[in-house]
């Protein structure tokens, strides 16, 4: 399908699909040193350090509620770290993906939403007519001039992407951009992000999409720990075998943030915390013993299904089969997150 789309653009005489460029940012986009942040007793980011350089494509991975949004705000300067520091690079022009579609004006057609009164758009130093630019996003002239209220959900998503990539930027921040995208729009977005010349921070639960787009990943691993890995989701799995992940989860399960103060001279004082830990029942102990195998099995099925979805031949199946596979992928992800949560609870 991607080849067919490229051939269609070539027949139309259009240039390679691309985003509007901006002046280069500084070589160092973000530098975090020993960053910590908590809400009350809940630590979301603990002793986090990284350097993001110009052109990096960073995936931000973790279950809902793990602190991804907090980490993103810390990097962008919307939140100040409670410990450590974040240095923001120079000459940044940031574009944000509007997940709520609030950037589209309902009283304008697609052409007006993108052009905003302009006839031409600057794309990588070249002027391109707005109508031709919209054709790269699969809009015929008739659809480009149709009232936005007449557009399908897929067309509205493509229009939002066209509007986003028409804005000059050198740092692109996308929070769950693949939600509700049809296959063709998903491929179009993937192509744009792979070729995007600036720096990308991508928050997503779509593991195949992360594997195809990002060059490194920041993973929320629990109790405030943020792992920094080369590659996408599958690369993270390779670098973090199951035994290491379970060991890390065990090491991070303690809620203590600082060493205990000197104990009281009273003999009974050290015994006070003991009632907080209860002995597991037979069924719970059996469940705990079986969870590592279950997690391993879910991981293996996820990896196999992800490999299938990445194969171009996968999308030659009937739409029902594609939908079922994507639904199974989402279900496996939910099961895996629940298994990890249950393991931490029992451990």
For residue 343, tell me if it sits in a domain.
yes
pLDDT tens, residue by residue, 259-306 = 333 344 444 444 444 445 567 787 888 888 788 778 878 877 877 887
Closest CA to 256 of 41, 38, 71, 35: 41
272: Cβ–Cβ under 8 A, 6 or more apart, which residues?
none
For residue 36, tell me if it sits in a domain.
yes
For residue 267, tell me if it sits in a domain.
no
Interval 46-58 mean pLDDT = 95
pLDDT tens, residue by residue, 164-177 = 888 888 999 998 88
Same domain, residue pair 11 and 69: yes
**pLDDT given at position 59:** 95
**pLDDT given at position 198:** 92
For residue 259, tell me if it sits in a domain.
no
Tokens of 71: 């980490």
- Look at the block and give the residue holding tokens 């804005």: 167
- Look at the block and give the residue holding tokens 């729009």: 185
Same domain, residue pair 222 and 298: no
> Whole domain around residue 226: which residue ranges?
1-240
Rounded to 10 degrees, the C-alpha dihedral 151/17/95/85 comes to: 140
Closest CA to 92 of 182, 27, 20: 27
More confident: 264 or 324: 324
Rounded to 10 degrees, the C-alpha dihedral 253/231/335/193 comes to: 130
More confident: 128 or 309: 128
Same domain, residue pair 231 and 284: no
pLDDT of 116 above 70:
yes
For residue 6, tell me if it sits in a domain.
yes
Q: What is d(CA 223, CA 254) in angstroms, rounded to the nearest whole number?
A: 8
Same domain, residue pair 20 and 67: yes
Task: Please state the φ and ψ torsions of residue 304, each to the nearest 5 degrees.
Answer: -65, -45
86: Cβ–Cβ under 8 A, 6 or more apart, which residues?
30, 31, 32, 33, 35, 74, 75, 77
For residue 273, tell me if it sits in a domain.
no
More confident: 185 or 10: 185
pLDDT of 219 above 70:
yes
pLDDT tens, residue by residue, 118-171 = 888 887 678 889 999 999 898 999 999 998 889 888 888 889 889 888 888 899
pLDDT of 255 above 90:
no
């Amino acid at each position: 399908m991607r080849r067919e789309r490229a051939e269609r653009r070539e027949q139309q005489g259009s240039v390679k699909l691309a985003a509007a460029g901006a002046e280069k940012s500084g070589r160092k986009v973000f530098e975090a040193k020993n960053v910590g942040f908590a809400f009350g007793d809940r630590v979301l980011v603990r002793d986090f350090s990284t350097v993001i350089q110009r052109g990096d494509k960073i995936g931000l991975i973790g279950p809902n509620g793990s602190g991804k949004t907090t980490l993103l705000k810390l990097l962008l300067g919307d939140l100040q770290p409670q410990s450590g520091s974040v240095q923001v690079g120079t000459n940044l022009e940031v574009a944000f993906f509007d997940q709520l579609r609030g950037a589209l004006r309902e009283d304008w057609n697609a052409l007006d939403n993108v052009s905003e009164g302009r006839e031409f758009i600057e794309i990588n130093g070249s002027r391109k007519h707005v109508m031709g630019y919209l054709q790269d996003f699969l809009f015929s002239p008739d659809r480009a001039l149709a009232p936005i209220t007449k557009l399908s959900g897929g067309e509205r998503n493509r229009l939002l992407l066209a509007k986003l990539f028409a804005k000059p930027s050198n740092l692109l921040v996308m929070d769950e951009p693949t939600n509700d995208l049809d296959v063709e729009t998903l491929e179009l977005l993937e192509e744009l992000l792979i070729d995007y010349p600036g720096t990308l921070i991508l928050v997503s639960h779509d593991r195949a999409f992360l594997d195809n787009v990002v060059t490194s990943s920041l993973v929320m691993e629990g109790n405030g720990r943020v792992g920094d890995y080369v590659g996408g989701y599958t690369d993270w799995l390779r670098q973090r075998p199951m035994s290491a992940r379970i060991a890390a989860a065990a090491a991070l399960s303690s809620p203590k943030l600082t060493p205990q103060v000197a104990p009281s001279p009273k003999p009974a004082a050290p015994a006070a915390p003991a009632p907080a830990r209860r002995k597991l029942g037979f069924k719970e102990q059996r469940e705990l013993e079986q969870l590592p195998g279950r997690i391993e099995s879910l991981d293996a099925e996820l990896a196999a299904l992800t490999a299938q979805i990445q194969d171009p031949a996968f999308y030659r199946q009937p739409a029902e089969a594609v939908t079922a596979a994507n639904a199974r992928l989402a279900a496996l992800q939910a099961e895996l997150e629940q298994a990890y949560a249950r393991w931490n609870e029992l451990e």
